[in-house]
Structure 1
Amino acid sequence: MDQRFDQDVTSNPGPSLDGPPLKLSWATDLRLLMVIALPNVASMVSQTLLSIVDFSIVSVLPNASEAQAAVSSGAMVFFACFSFLMGIMVCVTTMASQSLGAKRYNDCSAYGWQGVWISAAFGILGFALWPFVPTIFGWIGHEPAVLAMEIDYTRIRLLAVGLSGAAIALGHFFNGIHQPGQNTVTVVGTNIINALLSYALVLGKWGFPALGVAGAAWGSLIATAIHVVWLMGLMCFSSRTQQFNALRMWRPNRDKMRRLLAVGWFSGINFTIDITAWAVFLMVIVGGFGTVHLAATAICFRYSELSFMPAVGIAMAVCTVVGRAIGEGRPDLARRRAAVGCIVNMAYMGSMGLIYVLAGTRLMGIFSNDSQVIQIGTRLLLFVALFQVSDAMAITYNNALRGAGDTRFPMIAAGIESWGIMILGGYWATRWWPQLESIGPWIFATLFVIAISATLWVRWCRGKWETFDIIGRDEPSAEVPDGEVPLVATLPPDGFGEPEEFGSRLGAP
């Protein structure tokens, strides 16, 4: 199925400037978007199921509530430390898709490799943060039983910073060239490996030692290493990527690295702001009410992933098609396909919100048999349900703006609104209305999601992004190094005209 999706995208990549403008229907836009989105959604669902599987595995440990709280908090701290690099790496899609639209095919793989080099440099920071992990969790002040597991889990996860960044960069290269199915195969495969390793290492199955919460972290580390090797093999040796000269574009390129960082810098700060804000919300503001409230919120986060992770998959496709349309000089097409993606996401996440309202108690009971956790979590799920439609808008237009290279404004908006509304408001709620307990902070979290969605939608509608040129259209494309034979390749017909010749773009005579 993944191959069929990829073939459809390759053979129907959208209109180009080589012929007259095409008047495509919204139904056609939806089909083209979903052809790219479905593999991404499969990847996101697979990743979500993995986190749920990990959560379920540690739930059978004797100290289940403490273990669940430790895994959630540890993952939050890891992603807070890793978020800046992650925000840069997702912009590989932006650069590769715009290069694809502009028919600068060597540049697509060059940007993928720059992501790998940047990730390798950031990987050193994972080791540098080791001594500070106890201090971070000591400042948060969780119960001693939770604290010890949080430290072990996070230290192991930090070893994978560079590998995780490289995996994201390579995966987003495939998204950018409209071949997300190849990435999906690797994501699903490595997630299965991860789940099996976590099961064996957490519970001591199949002759492996029982490492408890630390076993889940080791499983993630090993699976991530396998993922990177798999993606590199596909990028360099797959017959479907040879036209991008990936094997010859591996060297560091100062100009490409500068351009990727120029766009990714603000995206990285945005990711850091967002993930850090939610980490503070979970561990400090809500965690201040005790382990029961922390566990209930952690379960709500798991269910929230079931709605927003598939939406992120669709929004990633929006980023890709927006980037390619802009590379082709078609901002009108970018606007329309972003609107289609937003409608799809709002419909899906709105439906999930309805499920949270109608089946909240049953959903909470799947992960916990603690009556207090179930009671508190059922109430909190109502707030998760309330902001689903707004969250769909925020996710979609944030990715649309990223596809256009507009990353600075979303970063500023996220910083002001997440910390000004959710964190500051949540803190005030704990002081002014302590009788509401964790419900008070969740009210302000809901207000934040509604506010940021409106802000990003207005930014997109105003069209400032149409003036950006992030790939340097007037500058030469990357060249095959001297002494190496350039690859001459032809893509299948694009569905709207003649086959696309790669030869002249790759330096062929």
Structure 2
Amino acid sequence: MRETHTIKEKISQLSIILIPILVTQLGMFAMNFFDTIMSGKYSPADLAGVAIGSSLWVPVFTGLSGILLAVTPIVAQLIGGGKKGDVPHTVLQGVYAAIALSLMVMVMGGFILNPVLNGMNIDDEVRMIAKQYLIALSFGMIPLFIYNVLRSFIDALGMTRTTMFITLLSLPINVIFNYLLIFGKLGFPPLGGVGAGVASAITYWLITLIAFWVVHTKIPFSQYDVFGTMHKPDISKWKELFVIGVPIGLSIFFEVSIFSAVTLLMSNYDTFVIAAHQAAINFASFLYMIPLSISMALTIVVGFEVGANRLRDAKVYSWMGVGFALLLAGIYGVILLVFRSEIAFLYSDDAYVLELTAHFLLYAVFFQLSDAIQAPVQGALRGYKDVNITFMMALISYWVIGLPLGYFLANYTDFGPYGYWLGLTSGLTAGAITLSGRLLFIQKKYRKQYENF
């Protein structure tokens, strides 16, 4: 990355960082998508098992990997502040922390997986497939968490195109192993949905090895010689990572898990409503990759500028990102309004499901507008390393305001299942307002500190 002086230069630099992140996020989303649809081609039970396994795994993974995202603002500020010599130690300690986190998840999973699955009202076959899918996936957990650290390091240098290419390379690898292991091709045994878990684990190992090779041999990453000196685990550095990372991870977990909670509450409705809700949520999640990617890009550029004490540039980047997200949300909001019936047709041929899905997507328009503010603002705040108050705001917005309000509207008004979507939108709107106020406060606080200094 480099210092920018004009709005045009800032737009150019933000775009160079943002576009590969967006492609990367869509690629990661596509991996889960292929696991699901390819398992569905094997049998309905395998589809259900993989879907349940994924619903348990995704909130845990996104929350814990969010902790490791602390590497991005820390490294970005070190580079912006001209402290490049401290970067290798930070990244290596991040790798150690990733290994510790993954081992913790595996041990905890060994104790709670059976009770959680046994508590679900599902067929024994589906329960067994979900369990074996998650066990197979766990063999790739350590490299996946390490990859998230290496990816954060690469992205913090502004080289987001590199992680984009690694992710794009992982897609055909994942699809090929899915094909071989789910359906039993070229002499492999047909494993069904469990094969999707094995394929994902193999893919995680391969992309981590590729990322390690890139970091170790390719300029500019090799100049930092991250693995040149294998320092011992440094608890003080872990503390810095966790002080910043745990609130980030919890914020992400609370946002992602609320959708899982709503899906569970939707089980009180009939199959058609559940199917329509799932279809609409899936498409909304796809669109969320846009503000999420802008959020990740803002963490990098804002962290870089704050590290260099260019506070005006950090502020310009912050609101530029929010404005760009709102512009895009307005565009695809219009698309949702006009083509929501056609979008619904992508998920089902049933006339009633199509009607319900189109109705859910109408609520998604307002949902996306709120997301277009709160996600980029969170990314900017992470660039300032302001994460604790942000975490509390996310908790209150989603779980104190959004979910209870949605439950009330769904069960005590005529909105029915759409009440949950109104509740989610209200929670996201509350988050957008409070987080924007927090960003304004932090920018003012930093400016005063710099002036006094």
TM-score, structure 1 as length reference: 0.81
Q: Given the alignment of the two structures, is residue 110 of structure 1 paired with residue 99 of structure 2, yes or no?
A: no
Q: 1:233 corresponds to which residue? A: 213
Aligned: 1:33 with 2:14 = yes
Q: 1:366 aligns with which of 323, 346, 352?
A: 346
Q: Distance in 1 between matches of 2:418 and 2:352?
A: 14
Deviation per residue, 1:431-470 (Å, 9 max, x gap):
324x6442221121111111111111111011268549xx
Equivalent position amino acid for 1:352 in 2? Y
Count of residues in correspondence between the two structures: 445
**1:143 positional shift:** 5.9
**Is residue 185 from structure 1 mapped to residue 174 from structure 2 by the alignment?**
no
Quick one: which amino acid aligns to residue 285 of structure 2? E
Please tell me the residue identity of whatever aligns with 1:204.
G
Alignment CA distance shift 1:409-1:272 (3 Å): same
Match of 2:336 among 356, 361, 375: 356
Q: CA deviation at 1:341?
A: 1.3
Q: Give the distance between the partners of 1:374 and 1:148, measured in 2 at CA.
A: 32
Matching of residue 460 in structure 1 with residue 449 in structure 2:
no
Q: Which amino acid aligns with 1:230?
A: I
Measured in 2, the distance between the counterparts of 1:414 and 1:323 equals: 21
1:262 to 228, 243, 260: 243
**Inter-partner Cα distance in structure 1 for 2:249 and 2:314:** 23
Residue equivalent to 1:317: 297
1:121 aligns to 2:100 (yes or no): yes
Q: Give the 5 Å matches for 1:261-280.
A: 261-280=242-261
AA of the residue aligned to 1:47? M
Q: SS of the counterpart of 2:385?
A: coil
Separation of aligned partners in 2, 1:196 and 1:288: 38
| CA gap 1:151/1:57 in 2 versus in 1, 3 angstroms | same
Once residues 154 and 462 of structure 1 are traced to their aligned partners in structure 2, the CA distance between those partners, rounded to angstroms, is 43
**Alignment partner of 1:426 is 2:415:** no
- Displacement of 1:347 after TM fit? 1.8
Question: For residues 151 and 53 of structure 2, what CA distance do their matches in structure 1 show?
Answer: 24
- Aligned residue for 1:496? none
1:240 partner letter: P
8 Å CA contact retained: 2:367, 2:424: no
Structure 1 residue 157 and structure 2 residue 137: aligned?
A: yes
Q: Distance in 2 between matches of 1:208 and 1:316?
A: 39
Question: What is the identity, as a one-letter code, of the residue corresponding to 2:92?
Answer: W
Per mean C-alpha deviation after superposition, the further-off stretch among 98-107 and 45-54 is 45-54
| Separation in 2, partners of 1:166, 1:285 | 34
Residue 30 of structure 1 and its aligned partner are, at CA, apart by 0.6
Residue 486 of structure 1 corresponds to none
Q: Percent identity?
A: 20
- The CA deviation string for residues 56-82 of structure 1, in whole angstroms up to 9 with x for no partner, is 32343442xx65554444223112333
Partner residue in 1 for 2:37: 56
Specify the code of the residue in structure 2 equivalent to 1:94.
P
Match of 1:101 among 59, 80, 83: 80
Which shifted more, 126-135 or 403-412? 126-135
Q: Which residue of 1 aligns with 2:222?
A: 242
Matched, 1:46 2:35: no
- Displacement of 1:100 after TM fit? 0.5
Classify 1:403/1:362 alpha carbon distance in 2 versus 1 (closer, same or farther; 3 Å). Answer: same
1:234, distance to aligned residue in structure 2 (A): 1.1
What RMSD, in angstroms, separates the aligned Cα atoms of the two structures?
Answer: 2.4
Equivalent residue for 2:426?
A: 447
Relative contact order, higher structure (CA 8 A, sep 6+): 1
2: CA distance, partners of 1:373 / 1:203: 30
| CA contact 1:93–1:175 (8 Å) conserved in 2 | yes
Aligned to 1:92: 71
Q: Which amino acid aligns with 1:14?
A: E
SS of equivalent residue, structure 2 residue 220: coil
Q: Deviation per CA, 1:349-380, whole angstroms, max 9, x where unpaired?
A: 33222222222232222233344433322221
In structure 1, C-alpha distance between the alignment counterparts of 2:335 and 2:82, rounded to whole Å: 44
Offset at residue 137 of structure 1 (A): 3.3
CA distance in 1, matches of 2:202, 2:384: 35
After TM superposition, give the deviation of residue 146 of structure 1 in Å. 4.8
Deviation by residue 1:244-264 (Cα, 9 ceiling, x = unmatched) = 121225423333322112211
**How big is the shift at 1:89?**
0.8
CA distance in 2, matches of 1:71, 1:465: 48
**Counterpart-to-counterpart distance in 2, 1:270 and 1:450:** 15
Q: Distance in 2 between matches of 1:371 and 1:145?
A: 30
Task: Please list the CA deviations of residues 404-440 of structure 1 after superposition, one character each: whole Å capped at 9, or x if unmatched.
Answer: 100101110111111112322233334324x644222
Deviations 1:466-502 (Å, cap 9, x if unpaired)? 549xxxxxxxxxxxxxxxxxxxxxxxxxxxxxxxxxx
Does residue 181 of structure 2 align to residue 201 of structure 1? yes
Q: Please point out which of 375, 378, 381 is paired with 1:401.
A: 381
Distance across 2 between alignment mates of 1:147 and 1:292: 22
Do 1:236 and 1:242's aligned partners in 2 also have CA atoms closer than 8 Å? Answer: yes
1:330 is aligned, of 303, 310, 315, to: 310
Write the distance in 2 (CA, Å) between the matches of 1:204 and 1:70: 18
**Deviation at 1:44?**
1.4
Any idea what the Cα deviations from partners look like across 1:319-368, whole Å, max 9, x if unmatched? 10100001101111111011111122222233222222222232222233
Distance 2:106 2:15 in 1: 40
| Equivalent pair of 1:72/1:298 in contact (CA under 8 Å) | no
Which residue of structure 1 aligns with residue 451 of structure 2? none
1:207 and 1:373 map into 2 onto residues whose CA distance is: 40
CA contact (8 A) 1:42 1:310 kept: no
1:223 aligns with: 203
Assess, with a 3 A threshold, how the Cα gap between structure 1 residues 291 and 214 changes in structure 2: closer, same or farther.
farther
- Structure 2: runs of 5 or more not aligned: 448-453
Structure 2 Cα separation of the partners of residues 210 and 438 of structure 1: 39
Say which SS state the counterpart of residue 88 (structure 2) adopts: helix
How far apart in 1 are the matches of 2:267 and 2:400?
19
Change in CA separation of 1:466 and 1:167 when aligned onto 2, cut-off 3 Å: farther
CA distance in 2, matches of 1:297, 1:463: 38
Change (3 A) 1:424 1:256: same
Q: CA offsets, 1:131-168, max 9 Å, x none?
A: 42232234343566654443333333344333222111
1:132 paired residue number: 112
Q: Is the 8 A contact 2:291 2:371 kept in 1?
A: no
Normalising by structure 2, report the TM-score. 0.91
Say which SS state the counterpart of residue 376 (structure 1) adopts.
helix
Q: Does residue 414 of structure 1 match 2:394? A: yes
Return 5+ residue gaps in structure 1 as ranges: 1-8, 16-23, 469-509
Change (3 A) 1:340 1:368: same
Contact 1:33 1:317 in 2 (8 A): yes
For residues 234-289 of structure 1, what are the alpha-carbon distances to aligned partners after superposition, in whole Å with 9 as ceiling and x for unaligned?
A: 1122132122121225423333322112211211222232222222122x212332
Q: 2:417 aligns with which of 426, 438, 454?
A: 438
**CA 1:374–1:386 in 2, change beyond 3 Å: closer, same or farther?**
same
For residue 391 of structure 1, report the CA deviation from its aligned partner. 0.4
Of Structure 1 and Structure 2, the greater helix share is in: 2
Question: Are residues 296 and 400 of structure 1, via their aligned partners in 2, closer, same or farther at CA, if it must alter by over 3 Å?
Answer: same
